Chain A
Amino acid sequence: GNSVTQMEGPVTLSEEAFLTINCTYTATGYPSLFWYVQYPGEGLQLLLKATKADDKGSNKGFEATYRKETTSFHLEKGSVQVSDSAVYFCALNLEIQGAQKLVFGQGTRLTINP
C-alpha cells in the first residue's frame, strides 16, 4: 500500500544548528511529495512540495529533494531558529481512479532552544 515513514521525534536542537528530518515513502504510482508544518495550536500549513523525481522544493530556508531511487524526501535547513519549533509532517499525494488522496507520516516534533 501507500505509506509515509518519518524519523521518530522529538528532535531538539540549538539555534543555528543544521536540521535533517528523514522521510521515506512507499507508493504504487508516481506521487507528489509535501512537507506540512503545524505550529502550536494551529492547523497544518504547506511548507514545500515537489511533483517529480529530482525536483527540489524550498521555502523559508527549508529544502527537500524528491529522490525516486531512494524513495525519500528528507527535509533540511542550514540554520534553524527558535521560530521553527513545530511539528513537521511529510505527505504524499496520489491520484487514484481520478481522486486525489493525501497520505501523512506520523509527524516529527521539533524544538529549537535559544
Chain B
Amino acid sequence: DAEITQSPRHKITETGRQVTLACHQTWNHNNMFWYRQDLGHGLRLIHYSYGVQDTNKGEVSDGYSVSRSNTEDLPLTLESAASSQTSVYFCASSRGLVPDTQYFGPGTRLTVL
C-alpha cells in the first residue's frame, strides 16, 4: 500500500546542532508539506513544495529549510536548532487536485535541549 513515512519518530538534540527530519511518500504526489504542531496553535505550515526543485516558505519558516530533489522525499533541516523548535513535526502530501486532500505522516517529536 502507498504510504507516507517520517523518520526518526523521536529525536533529542542540543541547541545549535543541525537536524534533518526525513519524509518519504510512495503515492507519487506532487505536493508535499511540513507542519509543526504546538499546543494552542494547531498546525502551522513551515515549508511546502509543488514539485521537484520547487520549495516555498510557509508562515513559520525561519530557522528551517527544505529541498526537493525527487518526487518521493522532502527532508526538513533545522540549520541550528533552538529550544523554540521543540515541537511535533508532521509531513503531508497531496495530489494537488481541487479540493486538495492532504495525507499525513505519523509525526516526529523533536526535543531541543
Contact = CB atoms under 8 A, between A and B. Distances in A.
Contacts of A93: 99-100
A107 B98 contact: no
B43 interface: yes
A27 interface: no
Contacts of A89: 42-43
Given A43-B105, A99-B50, A107-B43, 7 more contacts: A32-B98, A42-B107, A43-B92, A43-B107, A46-B102, A46-B103, A89-B42
For chain B, the bracket of interface size reads 20 to 34
A104 interface: yes
B44, B96, B101, B105 pick with most chain A CB within 10 angstroms: B101
Binding site secondary structure of chain B? strand
Interface string B24-51: 0000000101000000111111000010
A93 B105 CA distance: 19
Interface in A21-57: 32, 34, 36, 41-46, 49, 51
Interface string A90-114: 0001010001111011110000000
A44 B104 contact: yes
Interface of B: 31, 33, 40-45, 50, 56, 90, 92, 94, 96, 98-107
A49 B106 contact: no
B42 A105 contact: yes
A93 B99 CA distance: 7
Contacts of B102: 44, 46, 102
A99 B51 CA distance: 12
B102 to A, nearest CB: 6
Most buried by B among A49, A51, A93, A102: A102
A95 B106 CA distance: 26
Interface centre among B50, B90, B99 (most CB of A within 10 A): B99
Contacts of B56: 99
